[in-house]
Amino acid sequence: MICVALPGLAISTEEGQLTGRGLEGFYRAGRRVLSRCEIRVAGREPLPVQARMASADRARFVGTLRTSPQTGPDPDVIVERHRFADGTERITLHSAAPRALRLPVEITLGTDLADLGAIASGSAGPELPASVHGPGLRWSCATGNASVTAEPPPSDALASAGLLRWELDLPPGGTRTVELRVRPDGAGPLRTAGRAATSPLAAACAEGDDPRVPTLLRTSIEDLQALLLRDSAHPADTHLAAGAPWRCGLAPADALAAARMVLPLGTGLAAGTLRILARTQLTGPRAQSGMIPGPIRDAGPHLPPQCTGTEATLLFPTLLAEARRWGLPDRETEALLPAAERCLNWLRDAVGDGTYLRDPNPGGPVRCETQAHAHRAALLGADLLDACGRTGAAALREWAQTLRTAFREHFWVEDRGGGRPAAAVAPDGSPVPHLGAAAVHLLDTGLLGGGELAPGLLDKVRTEHLARLLGSPVMDSGWGLRGLGLKEAGFNPFGHRAGAVRTHETALAAAGLAAAGYEKEASSLVRGVLAAAEPFGYRLPEMYAGEQRTEGSAPLPHPAACRPAATAAAAGVMLLTTLAGIRPDAPAGTVTLRPMRSAPLGEIGFTGLRVAGARFSVRVGRLGLAMVEEAADGLQLGV
């Protein structure tokens, strides 16, 4: 169980006690400030009876005690613990005994002040010695200090054992609370970006026939709020951390992808993310000028690792163009336009006299996924340049047309089933035929003006073939889309990009299929992820095992998955809003609705979304007809 309010984390098992084993503990900015917090009441540990997430940043644990054997099997003391990501632990004892109780309470504390990477690799080191510090304890090492303060102050503190002790009097039916606060020395209270009044994400709500819908949307937004981080040098700008516990920093491609998926919650996150990444953009005369740096990422068993900087650079102009359609103000668009132009110039320079955008490393493959990103960036970038009165749009559209023609010739592998897109073309010109979730990016063509989608790299016939493949049991696990087809060599249901369900790509597939008119396949993916969300407490992980769903089964968690994760939480928003098919064109003062006519979840309504800088509410009935219930003044319904 992970409580998140970055840069704070609290990681626990369902037992409630923090024992110092594994990743357990309170963290601040990637350092474990408390690893052990074990409570004993009257010399005994409470018997755990329930553990649940109360919100993204808070967990509640309940345990019970019998203070007298003569009372029979019923417990007469309830121990309730609320654990917060900001480093607060609130412990409340409730007495149901018919007589007054005096209970000795002992809390054992400890920490190693290790960073998360060292803990994960098993090199954290031993617990540090404690010293008594005011109403609590303090630990020090060469890399930092941390302290715990208690309210009320303990009656006794034993530094050598890391022990705080109280004698608490409880009248019949009475309660007593002890609150612990842990933080690094010199650190003030945690002020998270997600809880501020200036949070860039709208607190939208959903309702409808399916009772799971409002819970998924609420939990997804809570997780997104918990993952928000401010730029330390420009605190008005926020971005999403990639995920907890492993990736609590900025991953450019993930941050851009997540901001794009949550445009229905407002353009503020997109603007902040774009400004932050524009400041990282490479400049100068070097070959990579205009590129947004990013780490290398595994690409599965059939392709070498890929550079996420390429994806981020291509997502930048795409997100800016679509944010403008959703209502990003002109002054903010204009301020970001030079960085978008540098991305598009990098694309033209990287392609050169050729047709395809190749891997940065010489001798690498030409990836299908990369061509889809590049094609979308070119078309949406051209649209953006035209709208802002800049030059270069014609050349981008001409190259996109050339790419479409070549792609349809070289990236299709014929077979008895009608064919499939190649995952890549190898340096020798041969196709890499393996079917994987990367193909969904061919359906994600991008939003243009008037509610129209940009053309894709596939023609209509081949789009239909791809839709049937994605909807088949080979790819659709019943819980979501597998990263690699079930029958492909190297398939592994837990494989990071070799068979596990990736929530982000499942949402892209559902949205792309619905937009292309393949609602049966899209509906199956939406229902599958919604079914998977329930056993995960509606906090979707970035990935989970791609085993086939059967009657009475549950999705298997992936041991290395981030949960919460930015792209997974954003996918929850995208999956649900796909049902309404909202396609705004704020500069033109219109919004077009293309709801899923099959209404796979019955009636569904959204309130508090954002279009053109104002609240937007929409309802889709059981017959698949959409109706706007609230919108900005002057916003017209497109056709």
Q: Domains of the chain (ranges plus CATH)?
A: 2-184 (2.70.98.40), 205-630 (1.50.10.10)
Residues contacting 25, CB < 8 A, separation 6+:
10, 11, 18, 32, 33, 34, 35, 36, 111
pLDDT at 513 over 70: yes
pLDDT by residue (tens digit) across 409-435?
A: 999 999 888 899 999 999 999 999 999
pLDDT at 32 over 90: yes
State the helix-helix crossing angle for 519-533 and 212-226, rounded to 10 degrees.
70
Please state, for a pLDDT cut of 90, what percent of the chain lies above it: 90
pLDDT at 191 over 80: no
Rounded Cα distance, 395 and 399, in Å: 6
Considering just the CA atoms, what is the radius of gyration of the chain in Å?
A: 27
Closest by CA position to 450, among listed 589, 551, 316, 273: 589
In 10 A of CB 198, how many CB atoms?
9
What is residue 382's three-state secondary structure?
helix
From residue 35, alpha-carbon distances to 21, 134, 150, 387 in Å are 8, 20, 16, 54
Which amino acid type is present at position 232? Answer: S
Binning the chain into helix, strand and coil, the percentages to the nearest 5 are 30, 30, 40
pLDDT at 455 over 70: yes
Share the mean pLDDT of the chain. 94
pTM of the model: 0.94
pLDDT at 192 over 80: no
pLDDT at 195 over 70: no
pLDDT at 262 over 90: yes
pLDDT at 125 over 90: no
Closest by CA position to 206, among listed 591, 526, 577, 569: 577
pLDDT by residue (tens digit) across 469-488?
A: 999 999 999 999 999 999 99
Closest by CA position to 46, among listed 25, 68, 61, 34: 61
Rounded Cα distance, 373 and 365, in Å: 15
Structure-token pair, residue 172? 């019949």
Which amino acid type is present at position 254? Answer: D
Which amino acid type is present at position 508? Answer: L
pLDDT at site 168: 95
Decide: 506 and 580 in contact? Cβ < 8 Å.
Answer: no
pLDDT at 193 over 80: no
pLDDT at 170 over 70: yes
> pLDDT-derived band of residue 188, with 50, 70 and 90 as boundaries?
low
> pLDDT-derived band of residue 122, with 50, 70 and 90 as boundaries?
confident
Decide: 279 and 300 in contact? Cβ < 8 Å.
Answer: no
